[in-house]
Structure 1
Amino acid sequence: MQLVFATNNPNKLKEVQSLIPEHIKLLSLKDIGCFEDVPETQDSIEGNAIQKAAYIKKNYDCDCFADDTGLQVEALNGAPGVFSARYAGAQRDSNDNMDLLLENLNDKPNRNAQFKTVIALHLNGNLKMFTGICKGQITTERQGLKGFGYDPIFKAEGYDQTFAEISLAEKNKIGHRGKAVNALVAFLNDL
């Protein structure tokens, strides 16, 4: 089986590749010659995942899946949510995003948050959805050098270390994207 993962993010690609069984060949957007920005203009995480997968299916006619992930912070009414990648602006800079989030939480005692990943799979003319959620807290400062995005300021429930301090294998076991991809893989293995 061959599937396109509709992402230009090399960190996401590496994370997902480590979870996909060898009998499924994972292709990137670059592998299929897609160098344009895939649209993400919906107002929900689910909507963006569906939009990205539909774009690849329509324009490249291949079985594919796309994900969208958002960090949802309780004290900020679910923000940054669907705007997580561009929270601090169109430049999509992780450091700027973390700085703004920490600043916005500066005077808030509630640090509860969750990462939510939704995967939309277009396969054999059907659309299937898979969701993964990881609950935790936002730290008061950055900790760790691994991972990407908000990983240095997010601690999963039951952990003393941030996502940026634990191994990729551990993050995949407890994290939002790992949970969503594992649900996807379980579905594909049952075909």
Structure 2
Amino acid sequence: MTNKVIVIASQNANKIREFQEMLVPKGYEVHGAGDFEELAPVVETGQSFAENAQIKAQAVSQQLQQPVIADDSGLVVPAINGEPGIYSARYAGDHDDVANNAKLLKKLAHADDRNAYFHTTLVVMKPTGESLAVSGTLAGEILTEPRGQNGFGYDPLFFVPAKQKTLAEMSAAEKNEISHRAQALRKLADKLDQWW
């Protein structure tokens, strides 16, 4: 059995699967936070994606005494002061995609500048506190109405000019080629073995 066990500080099955697809072939044994009933909930009190990822990684790593990867991600729209930012998942209600999208469209109703970007910060941390942080960004723009049936969150509104599609119009494979999380995962994959 491998001694390279790593825990993903998330209950999100899709997110955990993305990490497994990248790390298992490299010899890591990957577990999600849901595999550990004793884990206390972590309160995200940071003011940035990096701070929240750091808080999650540190709290879970200390509790489990295992290396942990945590991420914090969201949509940033400069024209509305960077909203929804770190509050992306709970912008108009906790993980209510329809309400979140409606609030975003309302806020941008009279905006000329609809540029936006998705951002992910990943932090991997050992129980000693030694950490490694990487990030990824995907630029695009917010449409006036949703398009596409795939994806989740803000994907139906997020148009990627280079692909001439929203994220919700892309296949999972297409999205994973360019997404903010995929970019961060690739950076992490390049550095993790050496850091370990």
Residue in 2 that maps onto 1:97: 100
Instruction: Give the alignment of 1:22-61 within 5 angstroms.
Output: 22=25, 23-34=27-38, 36-61=40-65
Which of these two proteins has the greater Rg computed from alpha carbons? 2
Residue in 2 that maps onto 1:140: 144
Q: Unpaired runs of 5+ in structure 1?
A: none
CA contact (8 A) 1:88 1:96 kept: yes
Encode CA deviations 1:124-168: one digit per residue, 9 max, x unaligned.
731110010111111111111211211111122412111111122
CA contact (8 A) 1:19 1:178 kept: no
After superposition, the Cα gap between the structure-2 partners of 1:34 and 1:132, relative to the gap in structure 1 and judged at 3 Å, is farther
Measured after TM superposition, the shift of residue 112 of structure 1 is: 0.2
**2:123 matched to 1:120?**
yes
Residue in 1 that maps onto 2:87: 83
CA contact (8 A) 1:143 1:164 kept: yes
Partners of 1:21 and 1:183 in 2: CA distance = 16
Q: Write the letter of the residue equivalent to 1:103.
A: K
Residue in 2 that maps onto 1:66: 70
Partners of 1:59 and 1:35 in 2: CA distance = 7
Measured after TM superposition, the shift of residue 10 of structure 1 is: 2.2
Instruction: Give the alignment of 1:16-27 within 5 angstroms.
Output: 16-22=19-25, 23-27=27-31
Say which SS state the counterpart of residue 175 (structure 2) adopts: helix
TM-score, length-scaled by structure 1: 0.92
Encode CA deviations 1:25-65: one digit per residue, 9 max, x unaligned.
21101123356432212111110000000010111111111
After superposition, the Cα gap between the structure-2 partners of 1:157 and 1:35, relative to the gap in structure 1 and judged at 3 Å, is farther
Q: CA RMSD in A?
A: 1.7
TM-score, length-scaled by structure 2: 0.90
Partners of 1:157 and 1:20 in 2: CA distance = 31
Partners of 2:162 and 2:72 in 1: CA distance = 25
CA contact (8 A) 2:141 2:158 kept: yes
CA contact (8 A) 1:72 1:115 kept: yes
Q: Unpaired runs of 5+ in structure 2?
A: none
